[in-house]
Structure 1
Amino acid sequence: MLALSAEEQALAQGRDGPGPALALRLLAEAGRLLGAERLIPVASAHIDGCLYHGDGGTEFAERLVAGGARVAVPSTTNVGALDLLRPQNVRLQGHERAMALRLMRAHEALGCRPSWTCAPYQAGHRPAAGSDVAWGESNAVAFVNSVLGARTNRYGDFLDLACAVAGRAPDYGLHRPEARRATLLVELGGLNPALFAEEAFYPVLGAWYGRAVGEAVGVVAGLPPGLAATLAADLAEDRLKAFGAAAASTGSVALFHIAGVTPEAPDTATALGGMAPREVLRPDAAALLAARDGLSTVSGERLDAVALGSPHFSLAEFRALHAALAGRRAAVPVYACTGRHTLAQLEASGLSEDLQASGVRLIADTCVVVTPILESFTGVLMTNSGKFAHYAPGNTGYGAVFGSLVDCVESAVAGRVLRDERLWR
């Protein structure tokens, strides 16, 4: 039975106005349903509910604003349904466009930092290891839990904003140390060592992992010597980002451990809490090839668009894209989604002009899978993102083809699907 403190009871009864009272009551009821015995303070929040899915979300946020609510902790905003920097990028019209804008503005009025990115950790929102936070958006949750070592459950729309306004979250699930212990062991021995150097390996491994473990917490071991140190470096965060995003899409992964890399897994035994795993999984080359092929829903050479940046592209990824293009121009539209913080860095570096001259369309604040940006409602989309590949067919109507970043660039320049199969076969 959840018990509220005297302070929480006062908030729920309207001491600070109807907005904070609504947030606290919603949070308390959710906590009761989840079996929590108390609410705990959180250090920050990341709000997924600022993406327009219908008028209810806008009306909820505006009701909080009208009731005098403000976020009680530093809170960033996930992608919205509009590119506020380049409004012409989004084809949303009429009532839906107006409501999407109202929703984004309401979150700003509540005091959220208008980051408009699914990768707030790239925009400086990096809570300390061991701190409790309330984050939404599946890849962001996986990253903040696994790579940064903060503690959150997957907080969905309305609940994420309620946590931010109340400055609290229910004490259950991944907030509790015992729930963070790995129960599965994934051993990677026997794979071609060259695969580990391929950026496309990590979303493929994540796609396999998500399907294999579901919502369980696992620890990945057996990386080649020296690779753990490489993955632990700042420049390799994009690989961990890609792994976690794919795992959270194909499964319900909110926390993973990689032995020798992530903060709660200095070694396999520590990640397992000194206990034996209940299951050991050993993916072989055939299993990973099947996972890679499973990210494509169409075959053949037809290509209508390339989409990159789910999660949002980092500056390092833009540099890799620039190098792969080498001044050539794409024959099909190339959409690169990113946060406005990275876009500012890209413009300062001088690379944005080169990329746009090569036919790259820069998208900020949103992405092609969640709002109408693509030029039609059917076609074939190629991507190096496991998350894009998983969601694009259902969300956009496009068939998906998965490939490496180099595959995507070579295909975009040629105007047809080209993939280098040598490593995978």
Structure 2
Amino acid sequence: MVELSADERAIAAGERGAGAAMALRIVAEAARLMAAPRLIPIASAHIDGALYHGDSGTLFAERLVQDGARVAVRASLNVGALAPAGCAAVRLPPHERDMARRMMRAYEAMGCEPSWTCAPYQAGHRPAAGSDVAWGESNAVVFCNSVLGARTNRYGDFLDIACAVSGRAPDYGLHRPANRLAALLIDVTGLSQELRRSDVFYPVLGTILGRRAGSAVAVIDGLQGCTNEDRLKALGAAAASAGGVGLFHVAGVTPEAPDLAGALGHVPPRERIALTAQDVAAALAGLSTAGGSERIDAVAIGSPHLSLAEIDALERLIAGRRLAIPLYANTGRHVLAPLERAGRRKALETAGVVFVADTCVVVTPILPQLAGAVLMTNSGKFAHYAPGNTGYAVTYGSLRECVESAVAGRLVREPRQWS
């Protein structure tokens, strides 16, 4: 039985209109299914449900708008199915394109911010540590919990906007401090410092974390002084794709892990996994599905969306050269705007970079349809989803390898730090 406050009962009865009433009833029913005793107020939401997957999603959003629903808290929007701020051509059929556009407009009509990014935390949406929020999109959820220290469960489509409109979420799971303590210890201290300081390592580590942890909370020991926000972003995105990870800690780095003992709640871990170079090499090999082929038809980076620092790194690696095959740079309009003001977008596009903003190549049809095609990426999340979503086999590599392969028009490898 979910105990509603007097204010919540009034909202459910229609005090704030039919749209808010429906939203509150959806959240209350979700709470009942999750055995949550009550609802809690939230500070913000990140909405994943605005990505078109079928007409029902559009009709649901338009019904909320018709019934007067407006978000009660700050609500940013995840990627959509179209790219109005980018130059990539989306190959959606006319009906689906129209429904996707209607869906995007409906969410904006409810007062959601037209951020259209899977990295809202890099676009200024950074809830305070300890605050309760309702975020969708797996990488955004894990970053919000782990790196920012705010509290959210993995909110799915339609429940996310219901939470935003009602201003409430079910009180269960990762909203509760006791459920945020680590039970699993992943020890990377036995790996070389060179490896732990390399960008290419973090999606591999995230893949291991996702497969070993599932939905359990883990703490990683051995990354002190080795990581930064973009690396933690890549780690969490891969972990949330390869498993059900919603929260991880990094001892001495993330806000709820001042040290190893604190992350574990001062009790021994349920399990300790000491990673070896062989473990990393096996996970690395598993991210590529293209076998030994040197064929590369396209390169795609930016899942989660590229930060300005990652664009800087891309620009340095290209160094004014021309690309032989297209490199799709997926990012948000918050990154594209300063690039345009500085004239850098045009220079990168002249070199052969194709910017994709407001969406990405894995969630909507952008990549050309080619038989036996191979996509190269430095993203663990792309590596996980691209074969099923795009039909392309995947070759995983570092950002440098991705750029050199795009310049050469074939697979180029650099010496492996863990060889």
TM-score bracket, normalised by the shorter chain, equals: over 0.9
Task: Provide the aligned length of Structure 1 versus Structure 2.
Answer: 417
Tell me how far apart the structure 2 counterparts of residues 24 and 190 of structure 1 sit (CA, whole Å). 50
**Residue 312 (str. 1) matches residue 305 (str. 2):** yes
Question: 1:291 Cα shift?
Answer: 0.6
| Equivalent in the alignment of 2:352 | 359
**Residue 271 (str. 1) matches residue 263 (str. 2):** yes
Distance 1:189 1:229, change over 3 A: closer
Question: 1:409 Cα shift?
Answer: 0.4
Q: Aligned AA for 1:11?
A: I
Q: 1:294 aligns with which of 247, 268, 286?
A: 286
Tell me how far apart the structure 1 counterparts of residues 312 and 116 of structure 2 sit (CA, whole Å). 22
Distance 1:16 1:411, change over 3 A: same
The question of whether the paired residues in 1 share the 8 Å contact of 2:138 and 2:154 is answered with: yes
Alignment of 1:211-250 (within 5 A): 211-223=211-223, 228-229=224-225, 231=227, 236-250=228-242
| Equivalent in the alignment of 1:163 | 163
Alignment of 1:10-89 (within 5 A): 10-86=10-86, 89=89
Tell me how far apart the structure 2 counterparts of residues 361 and 84 of structure 1 sit (CA, whole Å). 14
Deviations 1:141-186 (A, max 9, x none): 0000000000000000000000000001000000000000000111
RMSD of aligned alpha carbons: 1.0
**Residue 251 (str. 1) matches residue 254 (str. 2):** no
Structure 1 range deviating more: 203-212 or 370-379: 370-379
Q: TM-score, normalised by structure 2?
A: 0.98
Tell me how far apart the structure 1 counterparts of residues 403 and 241 of structure 2 sit (CA, whole Å). 24
| Equivalent in the alignment of 1:396 | 390
Question: 1:348 Cα shift?
Answer: 2.5
| Equivalent in the alignment of 1:408 | 402
Question: 1:127 Cα shift?
Answer: 0.3
Deviations 1:367-394 (A, max 9, x none): 0000011011541000000000100000
Tell me how far apart the structure 2 counterparts of residues 167 and 376 of structure 1 sit (CA, whole Å). 43
Structure 1 range deviating more: 243-252 or 368-377: 368-377
Question: 1:229 Cα shift?
Answer: 3.9
Question: 1:196 Cα shift?
Answer: 1.6
Alignment of 1:72-151 (within 5 A): 72-86=72-86, 89-151=89-151
The question of whether the paired residues in 2 share the 8 Å contact of 1:377 and 1:396 is answered with: no
> SS where residue 89 of structure 1 aligns?
coil
* Identical-pair percentage: 65
> SS where residue 394 of structure 1 aligns?
helix
Question: 1:222 Cα shift?
Answer: 2.2
| Equivalent in the alignment of 1:176 | 176
Question: 1:358 Cα shift?
Answer: 1.0
Tell me how far apart the structure 2 counterparts of residues 257 and 46 of structure 1 sit (CA, whole Å). 22
Deviations 1:51-91 (A, max 9, x none): 00001111111100000000000000000000012465211
| Equivalent in the alignment of 1:327 | 320
Structure 2: runs of 5 or more not aligned: none
The question of whether the paired residues in 1 share the 8 Å contact of 2:45 and 2:160 is answered with: yes
Question: 1:349 Cα shift?
Answer: 3.2
Tell me how far apart the structure 2 counterparts of residues 338 and 66 of structure 1 sit (CA, whole Å). 32
Q: TM-score, normalised by structure 1?
A: 0.97
